[in-house]
Structure 1
Amino acid sequence: MFIYIAGSGAMGCRFGYQLFKAGNKVVLLDKWEDHIQAIKKNGLTITGDKEDNVKIPIMHPEEATEPADLIILFTKAMQLPAMLKDIEQVIGENTKVLCLLNGLGHEDVIKQYIPEKNILMGVTVWTAGLQGPGVAILKATGSVNLQSIDPNGEKEAEKIVDVLNQAGLNVTYDKDVVPSIWRKACVNGTMNSTCALEDCTIGEFFASEDALKVVHTIIHEFVEVGQATGVTLDEKAITDYVMHTAEVAAEHYPSMHQDLVQNHRLTEIDYINGAVARKGDELGIPTPYCHMITELVHAKEHVLGIR
């Protein structure tokens, strides 16, 4: 299968690498010039649980010309519209587009560029990091849940599931993936923003009772707002999932920490805690913790001179 990875940071490199090693034709798309040049010159270097190096193609999104069978979206949430515009020339009539972005509400943006019959929405709990340009840190295991937003698209989506599973990505077709997307957003809402603000690993943050009070309140706000929009969410089950994820990923610096603290880049806070705060305002549901966390992250972006 011919696959573009649209947004080839840490997670894009993980998926691109595994799909490439499974025998697919894979092209990485990104705009980080140092990353592009490092991979062109030295290949993509893999470290962590294994050591490897692969000569995988990479280019700027607007340089891609060959229509794809599958495009996996891994760009940052705020960069999604620009990415979709940049790759419109490789979106064929039957090109499937799988969104695995963090956060909420991306389907509304994607529908402006892609027919519903070709859109797959998903969620992943794989993790990855970048040691530097062209060097991806891959540790532990994960999984993916995905669904065609067109009810008639399940059969075609199952073909994508098979390709991803041949690459060891542990994918399941989910007949209702929206609760899983909200659950992952809740994981990010309790870990990404907090670890970025506290400058710590997940395990370090979750180690104190004070932090756990914050975690439980954030979860409650996510559940209240999600349920009010018609999403079926079980607060205890989500809490258990968040705590388990924190234990498994205790040594991990989440992506928002990587963006804000390590690389001084804008964050996706408006699509995680910020999305819940906005939706809460619309519905008349108080979300003081999500509001405060969003404002604190924006304040940190200003302090660092990146907003």
Structure 2
Amino acid sequence: MKIAIAGSGALGCGFGYMMKKGGNDVTLMDYWDAHIQAIRENGLSISVNGKEDNVSMKIGKPNEIQDTFDVVFVFTKSMGLRAMMEAIKHTLTDDTKVVCLLNGLGHAKTIAEYIPEKNIIMGTTVWTAGIDAPGQTHFMGEGPVEVQNADPSEEEGARQVVKMMADCGLNGVYSENVHFTTWRKACVNGTMNALCSLLDCNIEELFHTSESDHLVTEIITEFSQVAATESVDINVQETVDYVKMTAEKVGAHYPSMHQDLQQNKRPTEIDFLNGAVAKEAEANGFSAPYCKLITQLIHAKEDIYGIKR
């Protein structure tokens, strides 16, 4: 397949690397000048589950890329999705599939402004990643990567992407209910990402605290209440157990929101996670006090750091 990675940070580089090693024609797209230059000059240096490698990769800014693609994976931050879709629209054809594995809620509506719904593939991943330096990343996990066409009656495109990812070691799985998996992933990020960012700790440290069980349960309860307004059934205890299991697998990893807020002083995705839950709860006539407070505290920390949203 001819594949573009729109947003080639840590996860984007990890997916792009795995897909290229699997025999696909992969182009990375990003805006970070130092990162682009390092990969052009020295290749992408990457550690995948502890195994080091270096591979030559095509990379450029979106406006520099004139090719069109079979599949585009978007790996921006939630708040950057619209701008990226606008920047890459010249690379999209009537048949290009766009795969969205972003954290957060509500992204299909944005992508639908640029391509037909039948070409939108939504999904989730539990792979984790980080950038160590320009052109140097690490990538960890085992999958699965669950995807489904936004229009459930259109399965063929998503199943082709699933097979490609499976062949590349990314453990692609066709989901029968991606709306559920998206909400469950949002629960993971609304707990791990938000709390690690506020407490300035890694995932392992978070779950060793005496308050983690209570905090995780209360946050997931609020997510579950809002998900129910969209006819999505999030069982609180099952989801708490899932979050704990995920935490055990990931270990001493600093999640992406911590990397953004504490390490790199960049805006966070909190408004597409806990903030979205708090907003939708109020719109439906009830409250989500934990999510509302967490969102306010994250924004306060952004203000302290002088981060512009």
Q: Which position in structure 2 is the counterpart of 1:180?
A: 181
**Shift in Å, 1:102:** 0.4
Matches of 1:252 and 1:141, distance apart in 2: 15
Q: Which position in structure 1 is the counterpart of 2:273?
A: 272
Q: Which position in structure 2 is the counterpart of 1:288?
A: 289
Unpaired segments of 5 or more residues in structure 2?
A: none
**Shift in Å, 1:150:** 1.7
Q: Deviations over 1:56-97 (max 9, x none)?
A: 011001211111000001111000010000000010010000
Matches of 1:46 and 1:174, distance apart in 2: 29
**What secondary structure is seen at the aligned counterpart in 2 of 1:145?**
strand
How do residues 135-154 of structure 1 correspond to structure 2 at under 5 angstroms? 135-154=136-155
Matches of 1:86 and 1:141, distance apart in 2: 32
**What secondary structure is seen at the aligned counterpart in 2 of 1:152?**
coil
Q: Retained in 2: the 8 A contact 1:67–1:89?
A: yes
The one-letter amino acid paired with 1:54 is V
The reply on whether 1:242 has 2:243 as its aligned counterpart is yes
Q: Which position in structure 2 is the counterpart of 1:105?
A: 106
**Shift in Å, 1:142:** 2.2
Q: Deviations over 1:122-170 (max 9, x none)?
A: 0000111111111011233222100001233102221111111111110
Q: Retained in 2: the 8 A contact 1:225–1:285?
A: no
Q: Which position in structure 1 is the counterpart of 2:16?
A: 16
Q: Which position in structure 2 is the counterpart of 1:79?
A: 80
Matches of 1:25 and 1:181, distance apart in 2: 28
The one-letter amino acid paired with 1:134 is G
Equivalent pairs: percent with the same residue?
A: 50
Which deviates further from its counterpart, 189-198 or 45-54? 45-54
TM (norm. structure 1) is 0.98
The one-letter amino acid paired with 1:261 is Q
How do residues 1-307 of structure 1 correspond to structure 2 at under 5 angstroms? 1-47=1-47, 49-307=50-308
The one-letter amino acid paired with 1:160 is V
TM (norm. structure 2) is 0.97
The one-letter amino acid paired with 1:46 is I
Matches of 1:295 and 1:106, distance apart in 2: 22
Q: Retained in 2: the 8 A contact 1:218–1:290?
A: yes
The one-letter amino acid paired with 1:268 is E
Q: Deviations over 1:25-67 (max 9, x none)?
A: 0000111111111111111001251111001011001211111
The one-letter amino acid paired with 2:18 is Q
The one-letter amino acid paired with 2:38 is A
**What secondary structure is seen at the aligned counterpart in 1 of 2:51?**
coil
Matches of 1:139 and 1:103, distance apart in 2: 20
Matches of 1:296 and 1:151, distance apart in 2: 38
**What secondary structure is seen at the aligned counterpart in 1 of 2:147?**
strand
Matches of 1:139 and 1:226, distance apart in 2: 29
Matches of 1:156 and 1:12, distance apart in 2: 20
**Shift in Å, 1:18:** 0.1
Q: Deviations over 1:179-231 (max 9, x none)?
A: 11000000000010110111101111111222321111001000111012211
**What secondary structure is seen at the aligned counterpart in 1 of 2:157?**
helix
Q: Retained in 2: the 8 A contact 1:124–1:142?
A: yes
**What secondary structure is seen at the aligned counterpart in 2 of 1:136?**
strand
**What secondary structure is seen at the aligned counterpart in 2 of 1:153?**
coil
- Deviating above 6 A after TM superposition, structure 1's stretches of 4 or more consecutive aligned residues are none
Q: Retained in 2: the 8 A contact 1:102–1:185?
A: yes
What is the alpha-carbon root mean square deviation over aligned residues? 1.0
The one-letter amino acid paired with 2:264 is N
The one-letter amino acid paired with 2:260 is D
**What secondary structure is seen at the aligned counterpart in 2 of 1:4?**
strand
